[in-house]
Structures are given as structure tokens and as C-alpha cells.
Amino acid sequence: MNHLSKEGSTQAAAAASENESAQPNSVLVVEDSAVYRSMLATCLREWGYDVAVAEDGLQAWEMVQSGDMPNLLIIDWMLPGLDGIELCRRIRGRQTEPYPYVLLLSAEEKKQNLIDGLNAGADDYLTKPFDVNELRARLRSGTRILNLQRQLQRKEDELGFQALHDQLTGLWNRGAILEFLERELARARRGPEPLAVMLIDVDHFKAVNDTHGHQAGDVVLQAVARRLAGAMRAYDWVGRYGGEEFLAIVAATDAAGIRGYAQRLRACIADEPVVSPANFPGEIRVTVSIGAAAARLGPDFTCGFLINAADEALNLAKTNGRNRVEVHGADRSKATSLRIGKASAS
Ligand code: GH3
Ligand code: MG
Ligand code: MG
Ligand code: MG
């Protein structure tokens, strides 16, 4: 959906990731020796891992490519078909997320083997025969690295979300919504369809803060945002443009279409008071004024042109009494100064 983050989506993502790291890690054992294969599988299952096995490199490569990639791999160096080093190189070459942790097994204890293995993309290296307790400890350290990796990914996802969303309302923030406007404008310039924008401003909002307090004002802004997002089509955009003002982008809609659309949004705010017993007693009634503009765009029209036009219409809605919709240039007798054209671009 284009407008509002699902409530608490960051928390939900965090909880999902915690569950994920609490799940047993899956291990793929790639080993051609039946004795080692069975010994490894038995130990790993005892230690709580989900285990899959492959008897040679090609079989393992097919399993990896089939998509269900385990997050830990124990790969024997010497394998028929595709050897462990080549398998390791191919796995790293895929650069898929999440990162798989690779432990290479070798029968030889040569320093060069260790270097070749690490160069091929292995994370760790163990020489056969090995002590099972050492294997267990090394897998634990691999799991720790995978868990850190997940935490890092989660942080990155959160930061990406915060960079684009308004913290109070969960709507797109000013930077993001303007970016989407640029994109929609570029699309509209190439095609025959008009593009419409709306500036939606809460009426007398200062009085809400003055009467009920800033915290109640915040709750009202959240409620307005939620209602606007809920009343818009999934493929249109709405963001917080600033303070108590919202910007909506509506594709393929002309002046007549945007008037009806804006009236619907205006009504969804005016028709129901905001009620929030946890934050304030009683109810708070608010209304919005909406200034809209729609145009078929020539090659040199800018975002500024459409926003200025909507802003002029919004001013008209305010002076005409608030809780109303004005569409730029739609009524020329009242709005002769509203000329859609490059002259009003900024
Ligand atoms: P008008 O009908 O002409 O738009 O009047 P208004 O009172 O809504 O407009 P004005 O620009 O005078 O006041 C806007 C107020 O919105 C002032 C500002 O403190 C408040 N405001 C802006 N951002 C926030 C916010 O995040 N939370 C709260 N509670 N208030 C905010
Ligand atoms: Mg072997
Ligand atoms: Mg206002
Ligand atoms: Mg305002």
C-alpha cells in the first residue's frame, strides 16, 4: 500500500526476526564420504540444527540454486564432480541474501589450502579428522555471525523506513512524497493522462492545540492521516507535506475527477469527530480545506507548477469559508488569478 505503514510494522519486523534467529539454523552438509556424512548429520541433529545432505558438489549446487538455501554450509574440499572450492566460489558469486556461512573441511593440513579456501569465500576451515567439540564451537561462532548479520539487516530496514516516513503519522514524509511527485510527473509528461495533486490543510488547527493541548493535536493529526490514507486508492500517494498539511498525488485524473475525490476526502474528516479516550476526554471535531490542481502536462511543466496551483486553490478554499474543496482554475469568475501555465511555476 502506498500510504501508511501497517501499524507498528517496525516492531512486527523486529519480532519476526527474533523468532527467526530463535529457530534452529539449517545446515547443508556436502560430503562424499558416507562415514563422515552420517557422523556429521547425527551430531548436527543432536545439537538442534536442521540438516540436509548432498553427496557431491553438483548435487549441492542444484540444491543451492533451487532456492531453499540453508544458512550454514559444511563443505568437504575433495568432492567428485564439483570440488568444495569451486562450489564455494559459485555460492559467493550468487551474492544472495541472507549471507550463507561456509565451513570448509579438508583432509590436508597445508597452509596454502587454508588460504585457497578463504580466498574462495569460505568463512572458516577445519582439518579432518577433527574433534566434534571443536566443530560445535566453530558452528556456534558461525551462528553468532549470522545472528549479528540479521540484526544489522533489521537495523538497515528500520533506517530505510525512517528515512522515507513521517514519524508521527507513518505517512510518507515530505522528501519522499516530493520524490514520488517527480516520478509521477515524468510518467505523466510521456503519456496523454492528466496528473492531479491535492494540498489538504487542517482548519484552525492551532485552536486544537490551544484548546486541548499539543498531545491531543498529535492524536488528531494521526487520525486525519489514517483516514486520508484509508480513503485513497492504493496506487495514489499521500504524504505529510509539513505541520498540519498533507500532499496527495492522484494519477490519471482530471479536474472533474479530482473534485469528487477531494470531496470524498473532505467528508471522511468532517463526518466523524476524533475520539481517543486514552489521550483526551470527549471528542474533537476537525475539518480540512483542500486545494486541488489537475493538468495534462507539457514537457517543461514542473512539480512547482502543480503545487503552486494547488496552493492557490487551497488559499481560496480557506478564504471561501474552510471545510471545502477548490480546484485550480475551475471557476474562472472567482479565480481569475489562477492561470494554469508556466507563469505560475517555481
Ligand atoms: P488555517 O485554518 O488557516 O489553516 O489555520 P491553522 O490554525 O490550521 O493554521 P496555522 O498555520 O496558524 O497553525 C498551524 C498549527 O499547526 C500551528 C502548529 O503549532 C501546529 N502544528 C504543526 N505541526 C504540528 C504537530 O506535529 N503537532 C501538533 N500538535 N501541532 C502541530
Ligand atoms: Mg571428500
Ligand atoms: Mg491549518
Ligand atoms: Mg497549514
Give 344 Cα–ligand 3 centroid separation in angstroms: 23
Domain 174-345: give its CATH architecture.
2-Layer Sandwich (3.30)
* CA 111 / ligand 2 centre spacing (Å): 19
Lowest-pLDDT range of 32-36, 191-195, 223-227, 291-295 = 191-195
> Which residue's C-alpha comes closest to atom 15 of ligand 1?
206
**What integer pLDDT is reported at residue 9 of this predicted model?**
39
Whether pLDDT at 341 is above 50 = no
Does any ligand 1 atom lie closer than 6 A to the CB of residue 201? yes
Protein residues with C-beta less than 5 angstroms from the ion ligand 2 = 32, 76, 78
Which ligand 1 atom minimizes the distance to the CA of 206? Answer: 7
Q: Which ligand 1 atom is at minimum distance from the Cα of 322?
A: 2
The ligand that comes nearest to the alpha carbon of residue 315 is 1
209 lines ligand 1 (CB under 6 A): yes
CA 298/CA 197 separation, integer angstroms: 16
DSSP element (H, E) containing 284: strand 283-284
Q: Are 280 and 212 in contact (CB under 8 A)?
A: yes
Q: What is the pLDDT of residue 189?
A: 82
Computed over every residue of the chain, the mean pLDDT equals: 86
pLDDT (0 to 100) of residue 24: 55
Ligand 1 touching residue 290 (CB < 6 A): no
Please indicate, yes or no, whether the overall pTM of this predicted structure exceeds 0.85: no
Q: Quote the pLDDT of residue 156.
A: 84
Q: How far, in Å, is the centroid of ligand 4 from the Cα of 327?
A: 18
Q: How confident is the model at residue 3, as a pLDDT?
A: 58
Ligand 1, closest atom to CA 205?
8
Pocket test for ligand 1, best of 167, 206, 208, 220 (most atoms within 8 A of CB): 206
Q: How much of the chain, in percent, has pLDDT values that exceed 90?
A: 62
Summarize pLDDT for 51-64 with one digit per residue, the tens. Answer: 999 999 999 999 99
For residue 309, what pLDDT is reported?
95
Non-local (6+) Cβ contacts of 217 within 8 A are: 205, 208, 209
User: Would you say residue 17 has pLDDT above 90?
Assistant: no
Please state the rounded mean pLDDT for residues 189-195. Answer: 84
| pLDDT of res. 11 | 35
342 falls in which pLDDT band (50, 70, 90)? very low
CATH second-level architecture of 9-163? 3-Layer(aba) Sandwich (3.40)
Q: Give me the residue spans of the domains in the chain.
A: 9-163, 174-345
> 288 to each of 48, 242, 281, 317, how far by Cα in Å?
58, 14, 22, 10
- Lowest mean pLDDT: which of 17-21, 101-105, 109-113, 229-233? 17-21
Q: What pLDDT does residue 330 have?
A: 61
Distances (CA, A) of 310 to 32, 104, 125, 166, 249: 70, 63, 64, 22, 11
For 69, half-sphere exposure in the C-beta direction (CA atoms, 13 angstrom radius) is 16
Which range in 14-28, 140-154, 160-174 is most confidently predicted, on average pLDDT?
Answer: 160-174
Among residues 281, 22, 288, 303, the alpha carbon closest in space to that of 181 is found at 303
